[in-house]
């Protein structure tokens, strides 16, 4: 008789445990959690100090954003904002005049002056083309410092930190109006100067779109 | 009687075995992926998180390619791109549906100007490139203008609000709905900023990052407004110089690496300056 009650009791506990287990077990399905909301007090990172101020915020991603972002077409990204104003004034006179008319987004003209290497004279054909096309980026004889650095995104930062060129193009020649880029003189590769304009075209999934010179490496 | 009870027990055992077999240990998600059981990292939550469907696709968005810390919002109304265009200092691309470029952060040099992507249908994303430390968020000039105290704004917030204001968007809604996100650390859920300032020549504080945290980035923003000539300011962490500046006013940012970001040990931050005042803000990105 005792054995019977013990067994029934045991079975009951087991059943209750199973039911409890299933009720409390978190449900699958909505496995993506969007964390939003106001600032929460944090205690995880320990801070000891009399006058410190803490501020915290949750990070979250609205999922509708990523599909939209994938529709953005390749472009040349300016790692450092364009030095438009500072180079504008030292550009070739005719080019400056043209630039004022066409309002190029970025104008790098005679920027290699700082490296004491004489740049090329602006090509008259380029100026002619510029007038009509309103280019987003216009390089005028400014590429002489960085043509070798066509490695694209991953190597760009490392190379820039070593070489510190005035202007660095990472596959960015794709955007130009077929200007011929010279190879950088060897002495420039050790020239110490913070980059003024840093360009990288790693986001260019389809170089064809920008009609780059054939010798440029394809991604 | 004992036989009856034994039968009951056997039936219960079979039921239990069935439930164990088809129970939550083998839950299938809607995407068809099998979920693993809980891990300590999930804080006891039984769900093993898997990347959302869009993140599993091969193609990456341009934001995943190039962006770091960001602040975004959906304005809830269509944006007139022709009007927005004038807000850009540099316009990198322009289509019928969006604009991308850099927008000036008032009072700062161009390396502080964030990229801004404006979608015609209302999305605005303001971001720094992924090479930049999250501590670029610290807006010391605004902090100084506000007379110190709590942190009330960030550099990205200032630009977002400036853009929204110029576009005559609903600023109340923008401030309510804007969200921070780091595109290189999609699993990072928290950003903690610890700030200390001094005008007394020196100050110190300590921080400890528990080993249980998943830490993605620690960066810092050093500010000095020390005046002219032979003045200076310096932040050291565990006796190593983090940033040091000279005369006048400046903001220096950088990542904390190596020992300064080690978890499970206490770190000491020392602020020292001569003239004016200085501050240091440390940014912890973790989950």
For residues B39 and B70, give the distance between their C-alpha atoms in angstroms, rounded to a whole number. 29
Chain B nearest CA to A111, separation (Å): 17
pLDDT one-digit tens code per residue, A30-66: 332 333 333 344 448 999 998 899 999 999 999 999 9
Higher pLDDT, B31 or B175: B175
For residues A135 and A212, give the distance between their C-alpha atoms in angstroms, rounded to a whole number. 15
Higher pLDDT, A76 or A56: A56
Residue ranges per domain, chain B?
Answer: 63-182, 190-286
Task: Say yes or no for a CB contact (<8 Å) between B206 and A105.
Answer: no
Helix or strand holding residue B74 (H, E): strand B67-74
Strands (E), A105-195: 106-109, 137-140, 167-170
Distances in Å between the alpha carbon of B176 and those of A39, A42, B146, B161? 12, 21, 21, 12
Chain A contact for B153, CB < 8 A? no
For chain A, give the longest Cα–Cα distance: 110
Chain A neighbors of B144, CB-CB under 8 A: none
Task: Say yes or no for a CB contact (<8 Å) between A81 and B74.
Answer: no
Helix or strand holding residue B252 (H, E): strand B249-255
ipTM: 0.77
Chain B neighbors of A50, CB-CB under 8 A: 205
Chain B neighbors of A76, CB-CB under 8 A: 92
Q: Establish, for the pair of chains A and B, how many residue pairs have beta carbons separated by less than 8 Å.
A: 214
- Residue A78, helix vs strand vs coil: strand
Of A142, A139, A140, A135, nearest in space to A104 by CA: A135
What is B190-286's CATH topology? Jelly Rolls (2.60.120)
Chain B nearest CA to A113, separation (Å): 21
Higher pLDDT, B91 or A29: B91
Chain B neighbors of A68, CB-CB under 8 A: 119, 123
Is pLDDT above 50 for B206?
yes
Q: Which of A198-212, B18-32, B56-70 has the highest mean pLDDT?
A: B56-70
Which of B17, B38, B92, B223 should be substituted to probe chain A, the one whose Cβ sees the most A Cβ atoms within 10 Å?
B92
Which pLDDT value is given to residue B29?
Answer: 30
Percent share of chain B, pLDDT over 70: 80
């Amino acid at each position: 008789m005792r054995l019977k009650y013990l067994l029934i009791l045991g079975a009951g506990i087991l059943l209750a445990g199973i039911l409890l287990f299933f009720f409390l077990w978190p449900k699958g399905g909505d496995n993506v959690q969007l964390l939003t909301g106001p600032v929460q007090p944090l205690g995880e990172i320990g801070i000891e100090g009399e006058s410190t101020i803490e501020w915290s915020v949750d990070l979250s991603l609205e999922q509708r954003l990523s599909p939209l972002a994938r529709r953005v077409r390749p472009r040349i990204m300016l790692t450092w904002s364009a030095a438009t104003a500072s180079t504008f004034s030292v550009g070739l006179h005719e080019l400056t005049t043209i630039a004022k008319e066409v309002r190029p987004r970025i104008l790098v003209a005679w920027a290699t002056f700082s490296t004491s290497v004489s740049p090329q004279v602006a090509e008259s054909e380029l100026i002619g083309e510029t007038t009509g096309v309103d280019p987003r980026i216009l390089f005028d004889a400014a590429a002489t410092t960085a043509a070798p650095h066509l490695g694209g995104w991953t190597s760009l930062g490392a190379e820039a930190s070593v070489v510190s060129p005035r202007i660095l193009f990472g596959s960015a020649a794709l955007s130009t109006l077929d200007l011929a880029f010279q190879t950088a003189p060897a002495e420039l590769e050790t020239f110490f100067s913070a980059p003024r304009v840093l360009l990288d075209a790693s986001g260019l999934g389809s170089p064809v779109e920008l009609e780059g010179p054939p010798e440029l490496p394809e991604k | 009687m004992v036989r009856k009870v034994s039968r009951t027990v056997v039936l219960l055992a079979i039921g239990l075995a069935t439930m164990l077999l088809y129970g939550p240990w083998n839950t299938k998600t809607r995407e068809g992926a099998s979920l693993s059981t809980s891990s300590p990292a999930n804080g006891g939550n039984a769900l093993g998180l898997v990347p959302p469907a869009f993140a599993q696709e091969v193609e990456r968005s341009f934001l995943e390619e190039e962006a770091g810390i960001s602040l975004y919002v959906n304005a809830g109304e269509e944006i007139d791109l022709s009007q927005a265009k004038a807000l850009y200092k540099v316009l990198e691309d322009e289509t019928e549906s969006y604009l991308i470029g850099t927008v000036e952060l008032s009072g700062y040099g161009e390396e502080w100007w964030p990229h801004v992507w404006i979608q015609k249908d209302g999305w605005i994303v303001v971001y720094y490139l992924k090479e930049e430390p999250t501590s670029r968020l610290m807006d010391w000039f605004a902090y100084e203008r506000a007379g110190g105290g709590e942190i009330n704004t960030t550099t990205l917030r200032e630009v977002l609000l400036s853009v929204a204001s110029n576009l005559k968007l609903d600023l109340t809604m923008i401030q309510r709905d804007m969200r921070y996100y780091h595109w290189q650390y999609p699993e990072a859920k928290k950003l903690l900023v610890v700030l200390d300032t001094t005008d007394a020549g020196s100050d110190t504080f300590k921080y400890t990052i528990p080993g249980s945290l998943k830490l993605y980035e620690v960066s810092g923003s050093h500010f000095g407004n020390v005046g002219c000539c032979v003045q200076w300011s310096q932040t050291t962490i565990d006796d190593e110089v983090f940033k040091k500046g000279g005369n006048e006013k400046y903001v220096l940012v950088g990542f904390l690496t190596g020992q300064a970001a080690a978890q499970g040990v206490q770190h000491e931050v020392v602020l020292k300056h001569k003239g004016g005042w200085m501050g240091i803000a440390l940014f912890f990105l973790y989950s």
